[in-house]
Chains A and B, each alone.
Chain A
Amino acid sequence: MALETDTAAKALPTGPGGSSRNARHAWKTVKGVLGVLVAVAFTFLGLLAITFFIGRVVPIDPVLAVVGDRAPRAVYEAARIEMGLDKPLIVQFFHYVGNVLTGDLGMSVSTGRPVVEDLKRVFPATLEMATIGIIIGVLLGVPMGVYAASRQGSLIDQVIRVVGLLGYSVPAFWLGLVGLALFYAKLQWVGGPGRIDIFYDGVIEPVTGLLLIDSLLAGDTEIFFNALTHIALPAAVLGFFSLAYIARMTRSFMLDQLAQEYVTTARVKGVSERLVLWRHAFRPILVPLITVIGLSYAGLLEGSVMIETVFSWPGIGNYLTTALLNADMNAVLGSTLVIGAVFIGINKISDVLYRVLDPRAR
């Protein structure tokens, strides 16, 4: 993507609209946006190529992978014709891209419904958990990183460093299980697996699909608090992983800033340490932090696959693993595609935000 903007910058002096500065600026912006869009389009096409490759080329018998080995002969033949396996690969690929663009991801063998409908149903649950997770991660991780940087080399800094590394070395599913054993079974502080206690299930009509918001909209605080005790633990576990990453990056950004001369100047002038940290050093790192938070939010989608399996959380991760175990290939590829697309989307958005917000990157 850097490539496109480079060429845009080089084309600038000879580009049309060179007469006035404003027009030139507008042209540059348009070109930049076009470049990003083209790059995004290519990335999505690449993503489709990967899922197509996984679905049609890797399995020895793609039909069997889709219908399962217990399917009757007639179903097998119908699927074979429907998948167009008699046609050349490239034709099949374009057919596949067309299907995806029109919102057709095929039928799920395990639920018997179109994969798109299933995904629409399960996605809000994941979104809800990941959002609370990232809020926990930002609220705790940023102050931890700033604090560690301000006390570089101290014991607390070492502790925060190790916490940061633990984020890379603790299996998410294991932490979830240990959390369940401790906080649910032993201390009974939180609700068990699932989004809500079983006797509340289906009471609230889904509006947004986000249970916390839906229950508030319905004015049912009892269900709201029940849902809160259920989401607390999985979201906290997810939050730990974003916290570890955010704290690590914040610390590193802050150390860069604190080593600069303007910080020394501020200190010499007698500015209090608090102000030096939060007003002087912290402001410039806000922009790169946005990218880090975006990346971490996208990473939580990945983490949620494991966490949802442990907590029987009815989100996209659980849907994906269930599909994996049933060899339900359409559902697997559909979820992969959606997770990949959201992942790429968040990455690109934080990338664009970075350029818009940081005057040096413009």
Chain B
Amino acid sequence: MATTRDWLLDDSPSSRLQARLGRSYRLSRALARNPLAMVGAVIVLTLILVALFAPWIATHSPVGQDLAMRLKPPSWDNWMGTDELGRDIWSRVVYGARITLMIVALVAVLAAPVGLVIGAVAGYFGGWVDRILMGITDIFLSMPKLILALAFVAALGPGIQNAIIAIAIATWPGYARIARAETLTIRNSEFVAAVELQGASSLRVIVNHILPLCTSSMIIRVTLDMAGIILTAAGLGFIGLGAQPPLPEWGAMISRGRSFILDQWWVATMPGFAIVIVSLGFCFLGDGLRDVLDPKHGDRQ
């Protein structure tokens, strides 16, 4: 055990793999010293596990109706009570984890690379390319995200796929800004000049040498944004423009429970707790990652 640790913490790693693993090891040790970050990591890990093993964790079917059992308060059989169609809310919340995870993952996969590439291209080439690309970015940034997403969904039509596209459209500009700022600090370094002198094409410089260095600030930002993405997706579901029934999406579930909020509070309240816990988890993890990966913010602790 001690030898593995020594190998990981070796000051002069003999291979790229060793250097990378060593860096990850140091980061995870630093992260482990931050209690809130660990709570966040546990929550996010739990979300992933619950989404993966939903059929084994759920006690009932997420769509199975039982009208004799409608609107029952939380009990030993139905941990979070039942909704207006007699469906078990706990099981629906568990399956809802899959939808939430899918939404955040897809938004990240769509928005982060687009923002990354636009920002890196703008920063690397500068001049008119920069001005045009950043002009577009700033216009999108100056709009409130939720409103932008709402308007796009209105034009695209309701549904979970369109909600994901709309949220991605509202999210990418933030990443473009960060990638540009990072690129500007890297662009004039000697190693970039060195690869350029060796005849590397712009594409090669950006893809192989600039983008990898933007990833750590990108990971921080994406993690911090996750809470906002979850809230926007739930908001779209709540209004009725996101995931459509009978999908057990948390926002849509709250929307259904709205009619019963005065007498059967659990229908709307329970899925809300799931949203709060998961968003809080991403916030904690993102804050912790920022402290570990970005020394500039370390003193703000």
Give residues in A with beta carbon < 8 Å to B.
Answer: 42-43, 46-47, 49-51, 54-55, 58-59, 65, 165-166, 168-174, 177-178, 180-181, 184-185, 252, 255, 259, 298-299, 301-302, 305-306, 309-310, 320-321, 323-325, 327, 329, 332-333, 336, 339-340, 343-344, 347
Note all chain B residues with C-beta closer than 8 A to A51.
151
Q: How far, in Å, is A187 (CB) from chain B's closest CB?
A: 12
| B284 and A165 within 8 A (CB) | yes
| A325 and B147 within 8 A (CB) | no
| A321 and B239 within 8 A (CB) | yes
Q: How long is the Cα–Cα vector from A298 to B147 in the complex, in angstroms?
A: 12
Counting chain B CB atoms within 10 Å of each CB, which of A174, A180, A306 scores highest? Answer: A174
| A181 and B262 within 8 A (CB) | yes
Note all chain B residues with C-beta closer than 8 A to A299.
144
| B287 and A181 within 8 A (CB) | no
Note all chain A residues with C-beta closer than 8 A to B153.
324
| B272 and A174 within 8 A (CB) | yes
Give B125-160 as 1s and 0s: 1 = Cβ < 8 Å from A's Cβ atoms: 000000000011011101111111011111110000
| B156 and A58 within 8 A (CB) | yes
Q: How long is the Cα–Cα vector from A310 to B257 in the complex, in angstroms?
A: 12
Counting chain A CB atoms within 10 Å of each CB, which of B139, B148, B268, B284 scores highest? Answer: B139
| A177 and B142 within 8 A (CB) | no
Closest partner residue, chain B, to A252 (CB atom): B300
Question: Does B269 belong to the interface (CB within 8 Å)?
Answer: yes
Give the number of A-B contacts (CB < 8 Å).
152
Nearest 7 interchain pairs by C-beta: A46-B139, A169-B279, A174-B272, A58-B155, A302-B144, A185-B262, A169-B280
Q: How far, in Å, is A39 (CB) from chain B's closest CB?
A: 9
Q: How far, in Å, is B267 (CB) from chain A's closest CB?
A: 10
Q: How long is the Cα–Cα vector from A310 to B234 in the complex, in angstroms?
A: 14
Q: How long is the Cα–Cα vector from A42 to B254 in the complex, in angstroms?
A: 40
Question: Does B241 belong to the interface (CB within 8 Å)?
Answer: yes
| A169 and B283 within 8 A (CB) | yes
Counting chain A CB atoms within 10 Å of each CB, which of B140, B150, B261, B276 scores highest? Answer: B150
Note all chain B residues with C-beta closer than 8 A to A340.
142-144, 147
User: Which one of A173, A180, A184 contacts B254 once the chains associate, using CB atoms below 8 Å?
Assistant: A173
| B142 and A173 within 8 A (CB) | no
Residues 197-235 (chain B) with a chain A CB within 8 angstroms: 227-228, 231, 234-235
Question: Does B60 belong to the interface (CB within 8 Å)?
Answer: no
| B154 and A49 within 8 A (CB) | no
Note all chain A residues with C-beta closer than 8 A to B300.
252, 255
Listed by A's residue number, 16 A-B pairs whose Cβ atoms lie within 8 Å are A43-B138, A50-B143, A54-B154, A55-B155, A169-B275, A171-B251, A172-B231, A174-B275, A178-B268, A306-B239, A323-B154, A325-B240, A332-B151, A339-B147, A340-B142, A340-B143
Question: Does B238 belong to the interface (CB within 8 Å)?
Answer: yes
Q: How long is the Cα–Cα vector from A306 to B275 in the complex, in angstroms?
A: 15
Counting chain B CB atoms within 10 Å of each CB, which of A177, A299, A320, A340 scores highest? Answer: A177
| B146 and A305 within 8 A (CB) | yes
- Asked if A181 meets B154 with Cβ closer than 8 Å, knowing A43-B139, A171-B254, A347-B142, the reply is no
Q: A43-B138, A51-B151, A181-B268 are in contact. List 17 more A-B contacts (CB 8 A).
A: A43-B139, A47-B139, A49-B139, A50-B148, A58-B156, A166-B280, A174-B254, A177-B272, A178-B265, A180-B262, A302-B144, A305-B147, A305-B150, A320-B147, A336-B151, A340-B143, A340-B144
Question: Does B72 belong to the interface (CB within 8 Å)?
Answer: no
Closest partner residue, chain A, to B282 (CB atom): A169
User: Which one of B145, B155, B235, B283 contacts A171 once the chains associate, using CB atoms below 8 Å?
Assistant: B235
Note all chain B residues with C-beta closer than 8 A to A347.
142
| A306 and B284 within 8 A (CB) | no
Give B256-268 as 1s and 0s: 1 = Cβ < 8 Å from A's Cβ atoms: 0110011101001
Q: How long is the Cα–Cα vector from A168 to B282 in the complex, in angstroms?
A: 10
| B142 and A59 within 8 A (CB) | no
User: Which one of A59, A325, A343 contacts B143 once the chains associate, using CB atoms below 8 Å?
Assistant: A343
Note all chain B residues with C-beta closer than 8 A to A59.
155-156
Note all chain A residues with C-beta closer than 8 A to B231.
168-169, 171-172
Note all chain B residues with C-beta closer than 8 A to A46.
135-136, 138-139, 142
Q: How long is the Cα–Cα vector from A172 to B156 in the complex, in angstroms?
A: 25
| A298 and B155 within 8 A (CB) | no
Note all chain B residues with C-beta closer than 8 A to A55.
155
Q: How long is the Cα–Cα vector from A224 to B282 in the complex, in angstroms?
A: 43
Note all chain B residues with C-beta closer than 8 A to A344.
142-143
Note all chain B residues with C-beta closer than 8 A to A320.
147, 150
Note all chain A residues with C-beta closer than 8 A to B275.
169-171, 174
Q: How long is the Cα–Cα vector from A320 to B265 in the complex, in angstroms?
A: 27
Q: How far, in Å, is A115 (CB) from chain B's closest CB?
A: 14
Residues 100-131 (chain B) with a chain A CB within 8 angstroms: none
| A169 and B276 within 8 A (CB) | yes
Note all chain B residues with C-beta closer than 8 A to A58.
152, 155-156
Counting chain A CB atoms within 10 Å of each CB, which of B152, B155, B276, B283 scores highest? Answer: B155
Closest partner residue, chain B, to A302 (CB atom): B144
Closest partner residue, chain B, to A331 (CB atom): B154
| A336 and B150 within 8 A (CB) | yes
Q: How long is the Cα–Cα vector from A185 to B140 in the complex, in angstroms?
A: 41
Note all chain B residues with C-beta closer than 8 A to A343.
142-144, 147
Q: How long is the Cα–Cα vector from A51 to B140 in the complex, in angstroms?
A: 11
Q: How far, in Å, is A274 (CB) from chain B's closest CB?
A: 24
| B268 and A177 within 8 A (CB) | yes
Q: How long is the Cα–Cα vector from A74 to B250 in the complex, in angstroms?
A: 42
| A50 and B140 within 8 A (CB) | yes
Q: How far, in Å, is B245 (CB) from chain A's closest CB?
A: 14
User: Which one of B147, B227, B279, B287 contacts A302 once the chains associate, using CB atoms below 8 Å?
Assistant: B147
Q: How long is the Cα–Cα vector from A347 to B141 in the complex, in angstroms?
A: 11
| A329 and B155 within 8 A (CB) | yes
| B154 and A177 within 8 A (CB) | no
Note all chain B residues with C-beta closer than 8 A to A170.
275-276, 279
Note all chain A residues with C-beta closer than 8 A to B258.
177, 310
| A168 and B283 within 8 A (CB) | yes
Note all chain A residues with C-beta closer than 8 A to B142.
43, 46-47, 340, 343-344, 347
